Amino acid sequence: MGGMDTTSTPTHCPYCALQCGMNVTPVPGGAEVTGRTDFPVNRGALCGKGRTAPAVLSSAVRPTSPLVRSDDGSKLVPASWREALDRVAAGLSRARTGYGPDACGVFGGGGLTNEKAYTLGKFARVVLGTSQIDYNGRFCMSSAAAAGTKAFGLDRGLPFPLEDVPRTGCVILVGSNLAETMPPALRYFSELRENSGTLIVVDPRRTKTAEQADLHLAPRPGTDLALALGLLHLVVAEGRTDEAYIRERTTGWADARAAAMAHWPEYVERITGVAVPKLREAVRLFCEPEAAMVLTARGPEQQSKGTDTVGAWINLCLATGRAGRPLSGYGCLTGQGNGQGGREHGQKADQLPGYRKLTDPAARRHVAEVWGVDPDSLPGPGRSAYELLDALGTDIRALLLMGSNPVVSAPRAAHVEGRLKSLDFLAVCDVVRSETAELADVVLPVTQWAEETGTTTSLEGRVLLRRQALTPPDGVRSDLEVLHELADRLGVEKGFPTDPEEVFDELRRASAGGPADYSGITYRRLVAENGVFWPCPAGDGAEDGEDAALDAYVVDPAQDHDDAVRAAVPHPGTPRLFLDRFATEDGRARFVAVAHRALAEEPDDEYPLLLTTGRVVSQYQSGAQTRRVAELNAAAPGPFVELHPWLAARLGAVDGDPVAVISRRGRAVAPARVTTSIRPDTVFMPFHWPGEGRANTLTNPALDPTSRMPEFKACAVRVEAVGS
């Protein structure tokens, strides 16, 4: 009698944008994972979420057949795939026929592979003809993307690999708690300090990451923009600018300098609460080494002025010559597993594959040719994520949602939940029965990371291949199969293949010549080279796999191949951007003049405190997957409200007892966690849970005018002790 196949498959973690390498091995009743020591990012390390990822693959915690709304509307009941897909096609068709193409909305997720994100964008624009598509990655790093594009002409999370971090002289880490959000990455910052470099952490809380810092700056939430401008003021005042670099590699310095000089240190101290001596110490630590970096995350980005805030930190890098040079630069720590690739290839409202602009006629022509459609048939830009969700049930009558849980993750979540309920039709494709799926008319159960093959793009801009390691349960299909079947039912019989490699080959052609050019990347290269950094345009030689010499290169890139082989080899990829020139028309980086402005909602007598939100180490995003893992729930069983002892004493709140946090949008209740690690004027809640402890019931959907990022990170609240 033959036993089960216990061969290990090298692949990548399904969670954050580190995309840690792991091996998946089938075992009786499931699978186990181990860290891959050959993958340079995690070097064998895995966090608790990665170690327990196989638990979510279990049929016990996920649907394994389609579900449809019962005739009386009271519950979801099992159905055949044919019935479920017919219902989805009918629901979308009714909306489109009755109200026009834009009555159909599409909402994607930052965890979808590049192949799925690409196909979803194509489906929206070619099959439905709708402009109303966006994704939850808008809530991740859109402000950093907008600021990076303004300054450098190109957005890639990190313009250098993580391996450069320990070799620089100083890192300013703004609004990131890596110790809990990306634990395997913390080693790079520990190594930085071991190499005599310094770490400055900017965070209103003294997090586990801040505890590792040489200097912790704890500004009032929403004042990161003033802080960055104050540091730049001191750089100028102390004569620490790199005038030769500014002259040779940038434009716009005069206006940016003038704006910064209006933010003198004492003024910035009054705004931020960060003392002037600490501001001066930060400037000294940042400017004295030969090389330095600024890395931002959700803290400064999830604000209604997030684009300007990131722009101010970029200005600090440019003024000191810390961009486009070895071991220096600005970077954004992307959060979601494929937040980078998800927007590069078409599920963002204003972009086409290859990071092309939807409003660019040349981009439209190129992509339309690949898709075999008339460029004029492609719709224009649609609404951003929150604006799309806010329009549900009004302009948008039917929604296809893939891999997102806005009932928990969207700002002003109770309102968004109401908009979802008001739809004529809602279809959800997901790996679990999320809180959003529970509202659906049809739920389609789809394959997960270990059950399918596809590519993701990490926070470094490294394109990676996740490989299928397990057979999915009977009754589960891939998202690509779902889109193929729906396209066929809606009258488009060709152009939606189900083979991920075939989809990727089309994506390569669609991205060719664009800012995010993947045309020189193939599955075989991704296996041979452990990932390839974009941009990576195709060479002029033979197609990969059709030339014996090129086959030899793919098998062993390190060999000393002759010129003929090298000529056939595609571009090697670009681990480090901007070393020779920036991606602007003139090759120069652009300073953008910005000035501090208040939060969209400042505290007042009725709501005297500020709420900020974030994550904990044992849960992930909306918790839809991690809340189904017993080990993770034991470590982080539910929400809490972090508040300073002074505030707790004033309120009569006791550690562990429930408190109510109230904003203009609603009320959330969770146990108090009294700690000196937070400012007395600020409270903190993690956002992983639904129900009465849902943090996003409270958050403010005020949008950044450029990125359309909601202001998750700061809103006015009051806190009340709740009687037992």
Pick the range with the lowest mean pLDDT from 1-15, 130-144, 315-329, 682-696: 1-15
> pLDDT band for position 128 (50/70/90)?
very high
The yes-or-no verdict on residue 218 having pLDDT over 70 is yes
% of the chain exceeding 90 in pLDDT: 92
pLDDT tens profile 517-535: 999 999 999 999 999 999 9
CB 242, CB 320: distance < 8 Å: yes
**Cα–Cα distance between 286 and 169 in angstroms, integer?**
8
For 9-61, CATH gives 3.30.200.210
- Which residues, at least 6 apart from 28, have a Cβ–Cβ distance to it below 8 Å? 4
CATH topology of domain 142-333: Dimethylsulfoxide Reductase; domain 2 (3.40.228)
Check if CATH label 3.40.50.300 holds for domain 77-140+341-509: no
Q: How far is CA 170 from CA 42, 217, 312, 545, in A?
A: 22, 15, 18, 44
pLDDT of res. 334: 86
The yes-or-no verdict on residue 546 having pLDDT over 50 is no
pLDDT of res. 723: 73
The yes-or-no verdict on residue 560 having pLDDT over 60 is no
- Which residues, at least 6 apart from 629, have a Cβ–Cβ distance to it below 8 Å? 52, 55, 56
**3-class DSSP string for 126-184:** HHHCCCCEEEHHHHCCHHHHHHHHHHHCCCCCCCCCHHHHHHCCEEEEECCCHHHHCHH
pLDDT of res. 549: 46
Q: Give burial (CB, 10 Å; 0-12/13-18/19+) of 266.
A: exposed
For 609-721, CATH gives 2.40.40.20
The yes-or-no verdict on residue 551 having pLDDT over 80 is no
pLDDT of res. 407: 98
Strands 356-357 and 351-352: antiparallel
> pLDDT band for position 540 (50/70/90)?
low
- Whose CA is closest to 112, among 87, 130, 133? 133
Distance of CA 171 to the CA centre of its chain: 21
**Which has more pLDDT, 560 or 702?**
702
Residues 420-429, mean pLDDT to the nearest whole number = 98
- Whose CA is closest to 454, among 345, 602, 348, 563? 345
Question: Tokens 């638990």 — which residue?
Answer: 55
CB 319, CB 287: distance < 8 Å: no
**Cα–Cα distance between 170 and 397 in angstroms, integer?**
51
53: left (phi over 0), alpha (psi -120 to 50) or beta: alpha
Residues 335-358, mean pLDDT to the nearest whole number = 91
**Cα–Cα distance between 346 and 112 in angstroms, integer?**
12
- pTM confidence score: 0.95
The reply to whether domains 9-61 and 142-333 share a CATH topology is: no
pLDDT of res. 542: 42
pLDDT of res. 567: 57
421: left (phi over 0), alpha (psi -120 to 50) or beta: alpha
Residues 85-101, mean pLDDT to the nearest whole number = 98
Strands 104-108 and 398-402: parallel
**Cα–Cα distance between 449 and 468 in angstroms, integer?**
7
Dmax of the chain from CA atoms?
A: 79
Query: Which residues is 673 bridged to in the sheet?
Result: 642
pLDDT tens profile 235-291: 999 999 999 999 999 999 999 999 999 999 999 999 999 999 999 999 999 999 999
DSSP single-letter state for residue 220: P
DSSP code per residue over 92-104:
HHHHHHHH-GGGE
Question: Tokens 């070799």 — which residue?
Answer: 167
The yes-or-no verdict on residue 566 having pLDDT over 60 is no
Distance of CA 14 to the CA centre of its chain: 13
CB 134, CB 349: distance < 8 Å: yes
Tokens of 674: 């009294």
Phi/psi of residue 178, each to 5°? -55, -35
**Cα–Cα distance between 49 and 13 in angstroms, integer?**
9
What are the boundaries of each domain within the chain?
A: 9-61, 77-140+341-509, 142-333, 609-721
Distance of CA 224 to the CA centre of its chain: 20
**Sheet with strand 76-78: strands edge to edge:** 76-78, 67-69, 442-445, 425-430, 398-402, 104-108, 133-135
Tell me how long the chain is. Answer: 724
The yes-or-no verdict on residue 562 having pLDDT over 80 is no
The yes-or-no verdict on residue 563 having pLDDT over 60 is no
pLDDT of res. 581: 97
Strands 30-35 and 425-430: unpaired
pLDDT of res. 1: 40
The yes-or-no verdict on residue 705 having pLDDT over 60 is yes
pLDDT of res. 34: 97
The yes-or-no verdict on residue 634 having pLDDT over 90 is yes
Pick the range with the lowest mean pLDDT from 134-143, 219-228, 710-719: 134-143
Mean pLDDT score across all residues of the chain:
94
Query: Which residues is 21 bridged to in the sheet?
Result: 12
